[in-house]
A and B are shown apart, each in its own frame.
Chain A
Amino acid sequence: MADILRVEGLTKRYGAFEAVADLSFAVAEREVLGLLGRNGAGKSTTIKLLCNLIRPTAGQAWLAGQPILGVRGAEHRRGLGAMVEAPRFYPQLSGRRNLELLARIRGVDGARVQEMLETVGLAARARERFDRYSMGMKQRLGLAAVFLHRPGLIILDEPTSGLDPVGRQQIHDLIRALSRDLGVSLLVCSHHFSEVETLCGRALVLDHGRRVLDQSLAGPEGIAAVKAKFQELTAELNERRESA
């Protein structure tokens, strides 16, 4: 299967500190790839680099064969949908109004906005202000926004951050249903092993900005390998914290 996203030699340095170091990976069409790592592993920086929020020190990424980093214009981002860190919307506007603003920029019609509101279960409360939404409702609106224009690749950064177990389960079900229906590729960034295990078919474990494991989660051996590596990294961090 062809790659929807290809990343080569991605590097981000802040002075002497290397947040992401020579990172290379690819996401195939319809694949769900998990970026797993403890806090500070370089996951969010990778996502921000791919979303054009920060500029790379070195490296390039291709979305559907087109380079996307350090490129003039923004047409190359048309096939991308991303929720970075948390769903961010204008608090004084309603959920529907927020989606409508994004839809107009993306050239999506009003019927699709209504369809997405119904899909994520917010149609009945679409006229309420965004700042009156619960955390779960905000996450669902965020998902509606990233799936709105039927992109080829969706990037989700900590999609269940701040949710209780029931809320997390609901969001996981929604992500699975939406990605299955649209046949999109997903890049999910998380520091919860269970989240990556639930959503992803392959995991890329990061530490200190470097790839330490690239493993399929198709079988129990793969799952065990990723879990063991992640636990090892987490234990190492805990030891360092205790000694400090």
Chain B
Amino acid sequence: MILELARQEAIKLFSQRFAWALPVLVLALQAASMIVTALRPPETSLDALSGPQLWADGVGLGLRMSVFLLLVVGAMSFSREFSLGTAKTMLVLPIPRRHWLAGKLVALLALAAALLLAVALLAAVIVAATVGWGPVAREGVVLYTTGQALAHAAAAVAVTLPLLAPLCACALLVGLHFSSSGAAVGVAVLLGLVLETAVNLLDSGARFVFFQHLPRAILLVGRLGRGLAFQWEPILTWGLGVAAVSFAVFVAWLAWRLERMDIAQ
């Protein structure tokens, strides 16, 4: 039943124009930025752009925009049901409220996965078409082979997906508190801006802030592309650990709030 509800959420979402327009906009901006970067001639041989570095920069940008997209779509998910009154139609059905929530969460996570995949694949195509993946070399010394660079890129995408999960739950939680889609989206965008600022401010410290780790796996691949030290350990321990705890807290909060909620209006 949860998968059926998730399928229905996807149908409802993609029957709206904005659900197509926003991802297309994210991908277009990412592609434009990457192509401009790739075509800019390096000033010295040390500035020469490697494939993994271009890929990481492109995916990092796409991901930051995707965070806003997920916050907006997630915040609208519940608030739109309340503003349309369809929450009443859903809650009269023989489905527990927690299944309704799980359906929305699964659909949003599927959207996050699809976005991440699209952003990563688009970046890979642009890299292949411009600077090429090639081995990562510095001053003639090969630091990483093409296979190693690609393996790191794939692992970075895989690790980043669980980091998006608490963000999706947080967006749903925002929407649950508003019966106006406009207000929910406004708060979600504000939250995104606060997170973006927090990521920039806390970039060199405060490892417990999970949002800081969101693009970290991708950015580390960028370090690899620049021939710098590459460490997975902080992401696999602090990043995923904090993300898992945050996700559990947000989901428990969502379930508790939805279960106790009176749908009076």
Contacts and interface: CB of A to CB of B under 8 A. Distances in A.
B174 to A, nearest CB: 21
Contacts of A77: 92-94
Interface in B1-40: 1, 4-5, 8, 11-12, 15-16
A126 B5 CA distance: 22
A91 B84 contact: yes
A102 B96 contact: no
Nearest to A131: B84
Counting chain A CB atoms within 10 Å of each CB, which of B16, B88, B92 scores highest? Answer: B92
Contact of A75 (B4, B85, B91, B94): B94
Interface in A72-101: 72-78, 80-82, 84-86, 88-93, 97, 101
Contacts of A48: 263-264
Interface stretch (A27-35, A51-59, A198-206): A51-59
Contacts of B99: 74
A225 B1 CA distance: 49
B15 A90 contact: yes
A105 interface: yes
Interface in A17-56: 48, 51-55
B197 interface: no
A54 B91 contact: no
Q: Main secondary structure on chain A at its contact with chain B?
A: loop
A89 B86 contact: yes
Contacts, number: 75
Given A53-B263, A104-B4, A93 B88 contact: no
Q: Main secondary structure on chain B at its contact with chain A?
A: helix
Nearest to A86: B85
Interface string A131-157: 000000000000001000000000000
Contacts of A105: 1, 4-5, 8, 93-95
A92 B99 CA distance: 23
A106 B94 contact: yes
B88 A88 contact: yes
Contacts of B260: 55
Nearest to B80: A90
Interface of B: 1, 4-5, 8, 11-12, 15-16, 84-86, 88-89, 91-96, 99, 260, 262-264
